Structure 1
Amino acid sequence: MSKQKQLKKKQTNLTQNEGPLKVGQEFPLTIKRIGINGEGVGFFKKQTVFIPGALPGEVVTAVATKVHPNYAEAKIKKIRNQSPYRVKPLCPVYEECGGCQLQHLDYKEQLNVKRDIVVQALERHATLNVEKLDIRKTIGMEDPWRYRNKSQLQVGRDGKKVLAGLYGMNSHELVDISECLIQHPSTNRATLIVKSILEDLNIPIYNERKREGLIRTIVVRVGFQTGDIQLVIVTSKKEFPKKDLFVAEVKKRLPEVKSILQNINGAKTSLIFGDETIHLAGKETIQETLGDLSFELSARAFFQLNPLQTVKLYDEVKKAAQLTGNEKVVDAYCGVGTIGLWLARDAAEIRGMDTIPESIEDAKKNAAKHNINHATYVVGKAEYWLPKWQKEGWHPDVIIVDPPRTGCDEQFLKTVLKVKPKRLIYVSCNPSTLAKDIQFLSKEYEVKYIQPFDMFPHTSHVECVSQIVLK
């Protein structure tokens, strides 16, 4: 190479290193913390860089994959200094699947990281003094494997072979999952057998790109205590060729399946379920047990995915609610009534609401089954029912809220500020929306403490129970 070319190359490299990152550029990076999605976070010339698979304290050689105005994404080329907490992932498709984000991190250290994710969310989305907040150590699991009671796997084809799995990280390639280590073994086995039945009967599989075919998703839910299985086949249309043959084969090969349903979702959407569910065979619900309570679960009803941790979580809700037997309690976003019924024996009255009619029917059945006569369940939003009840002279002392990942509806939060219960117990599955909602309520309410829970080991998800009281 001539001196002139060498000088030109040197100048190019210097320009690359001095300016913002460019795609394909290699650079050294020290990882400072784990981000809210489980990726390592570092800073290169004041630019935030997110790098999946990297751990705090590690020094890596990174390659920029995407550069945005305010941050960059990168991948690891080489780990120069390795974290003492790095472990070998047990799952063979861990890096392709994307369902877990932290299997490469020692489990005890995962619990510390999850508390830090809560702290990060509060620092980013609230103006509270985080150092003065009582954010407790994350409560984890003794055995952090095979804890999920429900699997929802997309279906595809590879030639004649039927696949069921998740779409890979940042791609639309389906990763076939035959043995997921965080799923209850019964859900893995049921999914494998359902795939073989679909193959044997040559039932059309949905092709998302072409928007043709029938079978979209296999949903399997197991009752941890009963062993009963509910199978829901999500289809793109109502017509289901060889439906009777399919049901007969499921009954023959999977006698533990007590409930077989078809859900219809023809929309172009990332949502699993459509609005219409057809009962195909067995019972319409299966039973799950938490402590000394049992619950009837229909196909679309929300129920916590980790029953073992749920008992610890609900006990924390009960402790935070500080019930004496005289309180009127609202269970907002109540699902099948689990939290309200858990507290019912210590409350004067429970009232719950949810927008899914089947969930409310399940909640009513669950209350009746346990002879809980002071619980009322209605279809609709809390922001409709709370003002209505207040006009009728009924005022809640405690509101329990367990919203979806998007957090509480703003209208609901405005309603809470008007109704002014003494305590709001906020069960959150998303620290970012929890922080935003706490900020919204901070005019009238203060946070007494936040207790993080690890409901989903080996993922970046963290659940919290927050005791929020009227100032």
Structure 2
Amino acid sequence: MNKSTKQGKQIRLKRGEVIEVPIRRIGINGEGMGHYQKQVVFVEGAVPGETVVARVTQVETKFAKAKLLKVKKKSAYRVEPPCPVYRECGGCQLQHIDRRMQKRLKRELVAESFARYAGLRDLPIRETITMDEPWSYRNKAQLPLRQIGTQVAMGMFSAASHRLVDVSECMVQHPLLNQTLSEARRIVEELGIDIYDERKHRGTLRHLVGRIAFAMEEVQLVLVTRTKTFPEEEAFVREVTKRLPQVKSVVLNYNPAKTSLVFGTESRLLWGQEKLTERLGELTYLLSARAFFQLNPIQTIKLYETVKEAAHLTGRETVIDAYCGVGTIGLWLAQGAKRVIGMDTVPEAIADAKENAELNGITHAEYHVGEAETLLPKWIKEGLRPDVIVVDPPRTGLGQPLLDTLLRVKVPRIVYVSCNPATLAKDCALLLKSGYRIANVVPLDMFPQTAHVETVCELVEG
């Protein structure tokens, strides 16, 4: 037996090689995926159903990446992207694909993840819940700044690079948010505010961050700085209040670390309201600068209604809202539950959650600062027996201590909200082995034009 047979099939493609690839589906990042001589090849910008000519740019043990050179057989679902910087920005991966195909592909991404990581090919999965109008839906933008001569550039980094692309008229952002950030950039430039140099870790202003409350059309503007103060603070606030009446809050967030993370842990109100007020359905939410809130308020209502349906509440249940943020999901479920308990690692978010509960007259919801992976095992050891647990973890999935707790102490119903089909399927595979079954899976298109898909998975005992 030769070495290559012992190690398994080795990829034979070479960097720079030009190949013809039939595209069968999309990968998790929206790239076209096909096979060349039984080897997996990802081609950015290719559409399932197409045959493309591409040049190999990267070769790994189990796959290769290639650059699209020519579409030899074109998909009927290929469309012209309306955004002028679509190919440079990388923020939207699927603008070149028709909405009907995007809907189908996102459902397929979820189904394929469960087939691959959980061995499930007969998944109880619904059709993707889509948006009526798939543009202007984002309520938040975090844009880095860069000094270029006398001008201040602002935008997004192109995919897999630190090349700044101007996105001042981003088509998926709320138009008022675009206008606010563009004018704020002009004020920064006019006042000569010192701009952060990432390479040298010098300078002051790193990012401009804007968040808009859709219901009120009010904006919170956050300046993320390397230093705790800067000389032009008062002048900046004066110009913002003069030119941007929609801005109701100006906050400075201090981030001195040499890091790719946008926010630091310390914030200071420069002017206006400390928190932004947003409404979803009948509920009102107050949002601090660092607190997590869903980026698409319109689809968020559909998401939370899907979670409520999966929870099957009768008014007698104790509900755990893990990774609760400002309490959005738990408060949405509270009217049908006996008790709601939430936790989050961001103190400001928990403060917001408590205030939001009080604001909405909800007295049977409580919130705690801490990791779900630490608090839930502790509470269960102390005798807590929840009926439903809602988990909405980061892309990395459930932390191992929390997963171990769920495997050990059977909560009758788990509602798993996920932004990553792969980690969702991997976590569910372990839960299935411990006696859970999947009752329902619902994909939601929270971010049209992108490869991202949100999923609500209902797991029950037995």
SS in structure 1 at match of 2:330 = helix
* Match of residue 304, structure 2, among 308, 314, 324: 314
Per the alignment, residue 351 of structure 2 pairs with 361
TM-score relative to the length of structure 2: 0.96
Residue 390 of structure 1: CA displacement?
Answer: 2.9
Measure the CA separation in 2 of the matches of 1:283 and 1:269. 29
* Match of residue 56, structure 1, among 48, 55, 69: 48
Per the alignment, residue 180 of structure 1 pairs with 170
Q: Could you list the per-position Cα deviations for residues 6-61 of structure 1 after superposition, in whole angstroms to 9, with x for gaps in the alignment?
A: xxxxxxxxxxxxx8222221111111111110000111112111110000111111
Indicate conservation of the 8 Å contact 2:373/2:400, yes or no. Answer: no
* Match of residue 444, structure 1, among 420, 429, 435: 435
Q: Does 1:454 align with 2:445?
A: yes
* Match of residue 381, structure 1, among 359, 371, 380: 371
Residue 329 of structure 1: CA displacement?
Answer: 0.6
Residue 470 of structure 1: CA displacement?
Answer: 1.3
SS in structure 2 at match of 1:240 = coil
Residue 241 of structure 1: CA displacement?
Answer: 2.0
Q: Could you list the per-position Cα deviations for residues 161-217 of structure 1 after superposition, in whole angstroms to 9, with x for gaps in the alignment?
A: 211111112322111111000000111001100110010001111111121111111
SS in structure 2 at match of 1:316 = helix
Q: Does 1:273 align with 2:273?
A: no
What is the aligned-residue RMSD (CA, Å)? 1.3
Measure the CA separation in 2 of the matches of 1:344 and 1:89. 42
* 1:32 maps to amino acid: R
* 1:374 maps to amino acid: H
Q: Could you list the per-position Cα deviations for residues 323-342 of structure 1 after superposition, in whole angstroms to 9, with x for gaps in the alignment?
A: 00101111111000011110
* Match of residue 415, structure 2, among 403, 425, 428: 425
SS in structure 1 at match of 2:155 = strand
Indicate conservation of the 8 Å contact 1:386/1:419, yes or no. Answer: no
* 2:456 maps to amino acid: V
Measure the CA separation in 2 of the matches of 1:359 and 1:265. 18
Measure the CA separation in 1 of the matches of 2:268 and 2:409. 40
Indicate conservation of the 8 Å contact 1:314/1:342, yes or no. Answer: yes
SS in structure 1 at match of 2:406 = helix
Measure the CA separation in 2 of the matches of 1:88 and 1:80. 17
Task: Indicate the larger mover: 40-49 or 388-397.
Answer: 388-397
* Match of residue 118, structure 2, among 122, 126, 140: 126
Measure the CA separation in 2 of the matches of 1:365 and 1:104. 43
Measure the CA separation in 2 of the matches of 1:125 and 1:158. 46
Tell me how many residue pairs correspond in the alignment.
Answer: 452
User: Which structure 1 segments of 5+ residues have no match?
Assistant: 1-18
Measure the CA separation in 1 of the matches of 2:290 and 2:377. 28
Per the alignment, residue 169 of structure 1 pairs with 159
Measure the CA separation in 1 of the matches of 2:40 and 2:185. 43
* Match of residue 36, structure 2, among 32, 41, 44: 44
Q: 1:83-232, aligned counterparts within 5 Å?
A: 83-127=75-119, 129-130=120-121, 132-232=122-222
User: Which structure 2 segments of 5+ residues have no match?
Assistant: 1-10
Measure the CA separation in 2 of the matches of 1:139 and 1:389. 35
Indicate conservation of the 8 Å contact 1:133/1:448, yes or no. Answer: no
Residue 416 of structure 1: CA displacement?
Answer: 1.7
TM-score relative to the length of structure 1: 0.94
Greater C-alpha radius of gyration: 1
Residue 123 of structure 1: CA displacement?
Answer: 2.5
Measure the CA separation in 2 of the matches of 1:22 and 1:390. 54
Residue 158 of structure 1: CA displacement?
Answer: 2.3
Per the alignment, residue 347 of structure 1 pairs with 337
Residue 68 of structure 1: CA displacement?
Answer: 1.7
Residue 264 of structure 1: CA displacement?
Answer: 1.2
Measure the CA separation in 1 of the matches of 2:204 and 2:90. 25
Measure the CA separation in 2 of the matches of 1:362 and 1:30. 50
Measure the CA separation in 1 of the matches of 2:267 and 2:459. 38
**In structure 2, do the counterparts of structure 1 residues 388 and 201 end up closer, same or farther at CA, with 3 Å as the change threshold?**
same
Measure the CA separation in 1 of the matches of 2:283 and 2:420. 27
Q: Does 1:416 align with 2:390?
A: no
Per the alignment, residue 3 of structure 1 pairs with none
Measure the CA separation in 2 of the matches of 1:80 and 1:136. 34
Q: 1:242-261, aligned counterparts within 5 Å?
A: 242-261=232-251
Residue 391 of structure 1: CA displacement?
Answer: 4.1
